[in-house]
Chains A and B, each alone.
Chain A
Amino acid sequence: MLLEISGLTKYFGGLAAVSQLDVYVNEGEIVGLIGPNGAGKTTVFNLITGVFPPTKGKVTFDGTDITGKKPHVIAELGIGRTFQLNPLFADFTVLENVSASFHLRPRSSWLGTYFNTATYRRNEAYILEQSLEILKLVGLDKFKDELAKNLPHGYQKMLGMARALATRPKLLLLDEPIAGMNPDEIDFTLTNIRKTQQQGVTFLIVEHNMRIMDLCDRVVVINFGKQVTEGLPKEVRKNKEVIQAYFGGEHAA
């Protein structure tokens, strides 16, 4: 098991945003975490990546207990992520966004960086080459010198993923990767996720656009911070409780 969440609980004041949640992700899988607006999906991501600590429960990644660790430590252990509202390094170019995100592997020492040693220059040359490769993978290489803030929305989302890939993650958490995209962009993104998975990256994806289900090996549905059901995409799609969660109890067919 690459990622294991057990009994995860988070209270904001008196409100339980997430309660007693158990989720696991196996190596190489694409797992979808779906649920209606306000179900607590993004909170789960923030708890995994250490943006804030959980009230209760435990997160284990690759055999290490990462509960309550700082975001940059968790990134270093191999969890990359994107954000729902997709903040970027807005005043950097597309290429700079990716190369600045190559902070962990390879890493140069402070002094080596300042004094421009041969190792640092070699690392930077490698980073440039790898950044261009990642941009090619997500189809942004032709916009590499454009400022990130000038990109259209769909491309900004892909840049978010490119940036996360620059940390060389074992597990990539995508927060609504296809929200607000047009059908072509969605197809393109789904293809990219597939391609990246084949290179050995595991995915946990938060989304409430149901099209993400085409991609998932397994889907976990949550509502009001609790797990509703879990299973194969085609099972979940027919599940009464899921339909209820999305369309409301009274009107469920």
Chain B
Amino acid sequence: MIEKRLSMRDGRRLVKPSAYGGLAIILFLLPLFLKSPYWFHILIITFVYIIATVSLRVITISGQFPLAHAAFMGIGAYASAVLSKELGWSPWLTIPLGAVVATGIGVLIGYPFARLRALYYAMVSLFFGVGIIQVLYVFQRWTGGYSGLMGIQPLLSATTYKLPYYYFFLGLTLVCLLALYRFEFCRIGISMKAIAQSHMVASSVGINEARYRVVALAVGCFFVGLAGAAYAHYNLTLSFTSFDMLATLWLFMYTLIGGIGSFAGPIVGTAVLFLIPEIFRELKEFLPYLSAAILFIVVFVMPQGLVGLPQLIRSWFAELRKRVAHAS
């Protein structure tokens, strides 16, 4: 009996990794069944935003809620696009460089930001994000201003045939997610979560709050910059509106709907909000209302977000079974 219970628990422990592995295999084999370039495009954009949302999570676990995250995606994208366009460098070099530029600016503002909390942090980061767009506008000779930046060097030669891009972005996403997962669950991420819960207590046990907050921001900016830079050389045109405050707020929306308390939350939230409007095409123009409605439902019914749904359903069934047993 005990042995049986033990083996069941071991089985449960394998459920999660095997589910993730299975999902990765399905995504790798998907091109065998899916032939539409349009769908590849949707999936590629979803991958880009999954990296962006999960990189935002690294910052939020340290107790910071930056309203400039999409602006850093823009820094990575524009830096890489302009470098490759003006200097003729290969995108394979400028994409990491774009991420490094985003990280550098993240570190620079990280130190003054580390002294701010709550509403002050939100306000300052919000205006920083707005400021970045203004700076991009000032350099319109290179960035193209409000009419957008066009003619960016493609990363891969096949522009109409999306398959190589699909595999590139799938691989990039998996690597980024693994890197960020390790970051969250080693002692570094744990110390960050400690700071978020009580910065007084964390510094009383010797955790250097400012340094951890700067590192969180740097890592988050690196990955979002990377995602933005890679996106630039796929999309081949860039415009400011993809990186403004509204874009950041959408990243928070994906996080909240998916579940702010777990690593899978932002991934699920992003995937759901990108794929549902594609499946139900008529809903697309109502996306803001739909998202707000989902968020309401999540807040009141699913405090853990969409990732808490299986558990919620399980508990509903348990309740139902108990009632049925009671009645008979």
Contacts and interface: CB of A to CB of B under 8 A. Distances in A.
Interface in B170-194: 182-183, 186-188, 190-191, 193-194
A22 interface: no
Contacts of A72: 203, 206-209
A105 B230 CA distance: 41
Interface string B191-214: 101100110111111111100000
Nearest to A105: B206
Q: Which of B182, B188, B193, B201 has the most CB of A within 10 A?
A: B201
Interface string A121-147: 000100000000000000000000000
A110 B188 contact: yes
B201 A83 contact: yes
Contacts of B204: 49, 71, 75, 80-81, 83, 164, 167
Given A72-B208, A103-B191, A113 B203 contact: no
A155 interface: no
A89 B195 CA distance: 9
Interface residues of A, number: 32
In the A-B complex, list the 3 residue pairs whose CB atoms are closest, starting with the nearest.
A75-B206, A71-B203, A101-B205
A70 interface: yes
Nearest to A148: B197
B205 A166 contact: yes
A167 B197 contact: no
Contact of B188 (A70, A89, A113): A113
Contacts of A49: 204
Nearest to B200: A87
A1 interface: no
A36 B42 CA distance: 67
8 contacts: A71-B203, A80-B204, A92-B193, A100-B194, A103-B191, A116-B182, A120-B187, A124-B187
Interface string A67-103: 0001110011000110100011111100010001101
A103 B197 contact: no
A100 B191 contact: yes
Interface residues of B, number: 22
Given A72-B208, A124-B187, A89 B198 contact: yes
A116 B209 CA distance: 22
A163 B203 contact: no
B328 to A, nearest CB: 36
Given A72-B207, A75-B204, A163-B205, A114 B197 contact: no
Given A92-B197, A113-B188, A124-B187, A75 B203 contact: yes
Given A110-B188, A113-B186, A167 B206 contact: yes
Given A80-B205, A120-B187, 11 more contacts: A49-B204, A75-B204, A89-B198, A90-B197, A100-B205, A103-B206, A110-B215, A114-B183, A163-B205, A166-B205, A167-B204
A55 interface: no
A70 B205 CA distance: 12
A253 to B, nearest CB: 41
A210 interface: no
Q: Which of B191, B203, B206, B209 has the most CB of A within 10 A?
A: B206
Interface string A149-171: 00000000000000110110000
B187 A104 contact: no
Contacts of A88: 197-198, 201
A17 to B, nearest CB: 18
A86 to B, nearest CB: 9
A11 B187 CA distance: 39
A80 B188 CA distance: 21
A163 B207 contact: no
Contacts of B190: 96, 100
Contacts of A232: none
A164 B201 CA distance: 9
A248 B201 CA distance: 35
A181 interface: no
A89 B194 contact: yes
Contacts of B186: 113-114, 116, 120
A252 interface: no
A4 B207 CA distance: 25
A80 B203 CA distance: 10
B57 to A, nearest CB: 16
Nearest to B197: A89
